[in-house]
Amino acid sequence: MRRQVVAVSLIALALVFLPALAPRDNVLNWVFLALLYGALAQSWNLLGGFGGQVNLGHAAFFGLGSLVTRTLWLNQVPLPLALVAGTAAATAMGVIIGAPSLRLRGPYFAIGTLAVAEILRITTANALPEVSFLPTTYLAGYRLLPRYYLALGLVSAVTFVAWWLTRSRFGYGLAAVREDADVAEAIGVHAFSHKLLAFVLSSLFAGMAGGLFAYYHVSYYLQFPFNPIWTFDALLITFLGGAGTVWGPLVGAGFFLLLRETLALRLVELHLLIFGIVFVLVVLVFPGGFVAAWRALATRSERSLQ
Amino acid sequence: MSSILLQNAIFGLLVGGLYGLGAVGLSLVFGVLKMLNVAHGELIMLGGYVSVWLFTLWRVDPFVSILAGGPALFLVGAVLYQALFRRLIHFHEEHKIKNSILIGFGLALILQTVAILVWEADERAVTPSYAGSVFALGGVVVPLSRFAALLLSFAALGGLHLFLTRTRYGTAIRATAQDEQAAALSGIPTGTIYLVAFALGSALAGVAGALVSVSDAISPAIGLNWTLKALIVVVLGGMGNIFGTFIAGLFLGVAESLSGFLLGNVYREVVGLALFLIVLSLRPQGLFARG
Amino acid sequence: MSGDGPELLEAEDLSKSFGGLRAVDRLSFAVDEGEILGLLGPNGSGKTTVFNLIAGALPADRGRVRFSGRDITREPPSFRTRLGIARTFQLVRPLPNLTALDNVLVARLYGRGRSTALRTARDESLDLLSLFGLSQKATTSAHALTLAERKRLEIARALAARPQLLLLDEPLGGLTTTEVSAALAQFRRIQAEGITLVIVEHNVHAVRSLCDRVIVLNSGRLIAEGRPAEVLSRSEVIEVYLGKASRAALQ
């Protein structure tokens, strides 16, 4: 336990002082991306990992957060305000979509959320087909540093919520719902309200991550953050690292981006093949992902040492 | 005006036949195994490539390729079931569905990437001599190959129906879908039945893929779209209800085509999805399910 | 209709159908405070459906359920648990990937008179586990426990919700003779603490020695009610419930 606290503090310190230490911008840029993906995956993890509800429409919240933030920001609204508005929009949509969809059982929740996200993507693509460029006045003042620290803050916030889920009454209730909703009800846990709150928290942080994406990118198609690829990457990263664990999504994000960077230079698609295979193996053989594998290894080596 | 509407409706019907056939395999697998294979669209994509391959190598007619695409995908399905999905069979229903979605998702990624590595990312098309031919039917123009594809979809569905109702295996599959425990108690080897049902569902995807290749280009990326269409159709028709699924496919095809014509082509996809969400919230057992 | 004490639970005119099948048919009965009530009947007579209607896992087609005088017919199961109704399941349903301790802890955190402080709730849960001989297994995942252990865990979890009324659905099924007598002693201790029990059980000897009163269902309807020894000797009960062949075994 203490060793874990020390390790986490060291990594956090390293991340805080990285801009001063990193000689080149591309290192900082890579870590920024890892943080962004980590934050998005962690937000998926709140509902998907801790709550056991497979949301295949996560991109909708990421997309809406980015769309609202970008539009307001480029229309002279101060960035903090634009971020808050983007987050609020995604959160509101979490309530609107979560309430009916979470009543669905079986496969319908997964399919329903996917359909909602696709509707939003297609509508955005039709209504706003253009590329959004940062105007020259914005470009002149562009710095990576504030974006980096924003990403660091976001990852810390969403990871704090994940950590809170492992040691709070609400977190225990949510775990019971994940394991067996009927049993959870029978011991006093109102399953629907637990799922809904997890859904809303999940969409809140996805929207915030979308806002960060809008603040970071110089130019992109406004529909791009709505692409289902964002859902799929978040899901993949969460399961690789360990769904329902506090550190899984962050470990997964690091691994995901590292493998993508190294392999992309040689062969464009190979990393996807590896991700797919590892993912299937994790689901079938090692449901806890890297984090659980690491824990199992650690306890085994401790035992053999004694 | 009305003849243009009719033209659009007919065209929608032709596309809808493929939607229906594309979804029937998914519905069969869900009905029997209570698993949702979201890599179903990738299996359709593979079926399409079988036909593209045979045509490019030996100029095999795409309609003949069905005879290869079906069995080939039957084998692929059997292997996938044995290697992956079989491990979920003893899970509780809720967990079985969830894990099958996850495995299907990983599988979709794998199959799509393999397809890019083998065939590259660009579109491939089959171009037999009759590719552009049409015939007129009371003022309505009907593309010949799409019409033949619709007839073959009917034939495939009829064959499936005969298999399920007239053969021992088919009866055993239906019994297992009804009540797995009762089927096992009456001596049906449910393990084998699951394997056959999954392979059969994949074979139907293979046939659908070959028929898709007749009129549409095949690329590694088409899988997701076909999965989405199949999911919509399966929900509209009622999970596990095979005839309902096929009718829902025709229905979706017509609805998309008419709304594309009336509202503008960009909204045809949205109409299908919105229809789906409405059905999902009001009648989750599907439009054509009893009770 | 009922025995001596004040009524804790009242079911009035309850009905529930599945498709065309009437699982529970205009059933009325009451449970008195402090008693152990046996719910008997052949397979498919609607006993588990009655449990589900009382616990709220199924909505009733008609009729009402009153608990401590309060109409709870439309309340969700979680609310009923917080009022003081807890249950076990016929096929034990532990929360499989949670530890034995956490299984009990959730009920302690959400049940009636709950402890919202995590530390207190954990201590109380550990006490409950040791009461059921599960202290050694506190950190074991529930799916790794033996059937007997899971059955005890299931009852410990239900008690962690501090119920006034505890519904036990075939708690003795699959247990050995020694385990059965231990379980019966356990149920009497639970009763002695002032908890009312309703129990569905096929083990006739156990029912006879444990229950203060029994009611017998057939096809969802009440056909007999009274002291166990007396009810179990009635010929119509024997015929419906056990079949003629069993009469000899029973007498």
Residues C192-211 have pLDDT tens digits of 999 999 999 888 888 889 99
Task: Assign domain A2-305 to its CATH architecture.
Answer: Orthogonal Bundle (1.10)
Segment holding C247, helix H or strand E: helix C247-250
Cβ neighbour number for residue A140 with a 10 Å cutoff: 8
Our CA angle for B44, B47, B48, nearest 5°, is 90
The partner residue sitting opposite A187, judged by closest CB among C76, C110, C118, is: C110
Q: How far is A184 from chain B (nearest CA, A)?
A: 15
Residue B2 belongs to a domain? no
Taking the CB of residue C21, how many other CB atoms lie within 10 A of it? Answer: 11
Where does the pLDDT of residue C245 fall: very low under 50, low under 70, confident under 90, or very high at 90 and above?
very low
Question: What's the number of CA atoms in the CB half-sphere (13 Å) around residue B21?
Answer: 32
Contacts of A168 in chain C (CB under 8 A): 118
pLDDT at residue B291, as a whole number? 38
- Please indicate, yes or no, if residue B160 is contained in any of the structural domains: yes
* Cα C84 to Cα C110: distance, rounded to the nearest angstrom: 11
Residues 6+ apart with CB under 8 A from B221: B112, B121
Please report, for residues A70, A208, A218, B183, the alpha-carbon distance to residue A221 in angstroms, rounded to integers and kept in the order given: 11, 18, 11, 54
How confident is the prediction for chain B on average, in pLDDT? 85
Residue A200 to chain B, least CA–CA distance (Å): 20
The token pair at A215 is 């603040």
- Whether the predicted pLDDT of B205 surpasses 70: yes
CA distance B167 to chain A (A): 30
Task: Read off the tokens for C105.
Answer: 């802890």
Residue B289 lies in a domain: no
Q: Which residue of B has its CA nearest to A49?
A: B98
Q: Average pLDDT of each block of 10 consecutive residues along chain A (306 residues)?
A: 80 84 80 95 96 94 96 94 97 93 84 90 89 88 90 96 95 95 94 96 97 94 93 93 93 91 73 87 84 80 69
Mean per-residue pLDDT, B91-102: 86
**Nearest residue in B to A103, CA atom:** B281
Contact flag A188-C105 (C-beta cutoff 8 Å): no
Give the residue-averaged pLDDT of B187-206: 91
State pLDDT tens for residues B216-234: 888 888 998 899 899 889 8
Interface check A126 vs B, CB under 8 A? yes
Cβ contact (<8 Å) for A179 and C109? no
CATH of the domain at B114: 1.10.3470
Each residue's pLDDT tens digit, B5-51: 888 888 888 888 899 998 999 999 998 888 999 999 999 999 999 98
Q: What is the pLDDT of residues C38-73, one digit of tens each?
A: 998 888 888 899 999 999 999 999 999 999 989 999
Q: Could you tell me if C96 lies within 8 Å of chain A, comparing CB atoms?
A: yes
d(CA A257, CA C138): 39
Domain count for chain B: 1
In chain C, residues with a C-beta closer than 8 Å to the C-beta of A180 are 93, 95-96
Residue B19, domain extent: 8-124+131-282
| pLDDT at B290 exceeding the cut of 70 | no
Contact list in A for residue C160 (CB cut-off 8 A) is 187
Q: Quick one: pLDDT at residue B1?
A: 56
Interchain contact, C106 vs A176, CB within 8 Å: yes
Q: What pLDDT score does C243 carry?
A: 58
Out of A107, A108, A122, whose CB is closest to B270?
A: A122
Q: Which of A32-36, B154-158, C5-9, C149-153 has the lowest mean pLDDT?
A: C5-9
Using the CB atoms, write b or e for B184-221: b if 16+ within 10 Å: eeeebebeebbbbbbbbbbbbbbbbbbbbbbbbebbbe
Residue C101: closest C-alpha in chain A: A172
Interface list for A 37-66 with B (CB within 8 A): 52, 54, 56
Residues A25 and A10: their CA atoms lie apart, in Å, by: 22
Which of B96, B256, B273, B276 has the most A C-beta neighbours within 10 Å, making it the best mutation to test the interface with A? B273
Please indicate whether, in this complex, the C-beta atoms of A106 and B94 are within 8 angstroms of each other. Answer: yes
Q: How far apart are CA C216 and CA B8, in angstroms?
A: 65
pLDDT surpasses 50 at C102 = yes
* pLDDT for C194: 92
Instruction: Please indicate, yes or no, if residue B290 is contained in any of the structural domains.
Output: no
A172 touches chain C (CB under 8 A): yes
Kindly state the average pLDDT of the residues B79-83: 94
Q: Is B233 within a domain?
A: yes
Contact A183 C93 (CB under 8 A): yes
DSSP state of C141: B
Task: Over range B100-122, report the average pLDDT.
Answer: 89
Of C57, C98, C107, the CB nearest to A188: C107
Q: Which residues of B touch A235 (CB under 8 A)?
A: 105
Residue A221, sorted as left (phi over 0), alpha (psi -120 to 50) or beta, turns out to be beta
- Which of the four pLDDT bands, split at 50, 70 and 90, describes residue B282? confident
Chain C nearest-CA distance from A301, in A, is: 20
Q: In this structure, how many other beta carbons lie within 10 angstroms of the beta carbon of residue C190?
A: 19
Q: Which of A290-299, C16-25, C242-251 has the highest mean pLDDT?
A: C16-25
**pLDDT tier at C1, thresholds 50, 70, 90:** very low
Q: Does residue B104 sit within a domain?
A: yes
Percent residues over pLDDT 70 in chain B: 96
Chain A / chain B CB contacts < 8 angstroms: 98
Q: DSSP for chain A?
A: -HHHHHHHHHHHHHHHHHHHH-SSHHHHHHHHHHHHHHHHHHHHHHHHTSS----S-HHHHHHHHHHHHHHHHHTT--HHHHHHHHHHHHHHHHHHHHHHHTT--TTHHHHHHHHHHHHHHHHHHHH--SEEEPPHHHHHT--HHHHHHHHHHHHHHHHHHHHHHTSSHHHHHHHHHHH-HHHHHHTT--HHHHHHHHHHHHHHHHHHHHHHHHHH-SEEETTGGGSHHHHHHHHHHHHHH-TTSSSHHHHHHHHHHHHHHHHHTT-TTHHHHHHHHHHHHHHHH-TTHHHHHHHHHHHHHHHHH-
For residue A225, what pLDDT is reported?
96
C63 touches chain A (CB under 8 A): no
CA distance A153 to chain B (A): 30
Asked if C157 and A185 come within 8 Å (Cβ–Cβ), the reply is: no
Q: What is the ipTM of this complex?
A: 0.89
Distance in angstroms (rounded) separating the CA atoms of residues B208 and A198: 40
Judge: B93–A54 Cβ closer than 8 Å, yes or no: no
pTM (2 d.p.): 0.90
Is residue A185 less than 8 Å (CB to CB) from chain C?
A: yes
pLDDT at residue B243 above 60? yes
> Rounded to a whole number, what is the distance in Å from the CA of B69 to chain A's nearest CA?
24
Mean model confidence pLDDT for chain C? 88
Who has greater pLDDT, C190 or C21? Answer: C190
Query: From the candidates C91, C109, C125, C128, which should be mutated to test the interface with A, based on the most A CB atoms within 10 A?
Result: C109
What is the model's pLDDT at position A108?
A: 86
The answer as to whether B169 is a domain residue is yes
Asked if A191 has any chain C CB less than 8 Å from its own CB, the reply is: yes
Contact A138, A214 (CB under 8 A): no
Q: Which of A167, A182, A188 sits opposite C110 (nearest CB)?
A: A188
What is the maximal distance between C-alpha atoms in chain C?
56
Q: Please tell me whether residue B122 adopts helix, strand or coil conformation.
A: coil
Type of residue numbered A236: L
Q: Are the Cβ atoms of A183 and C105 closer than 8 angstroms?
A: no
CB-based contact C78 A184, cutoff 8 Å: yes
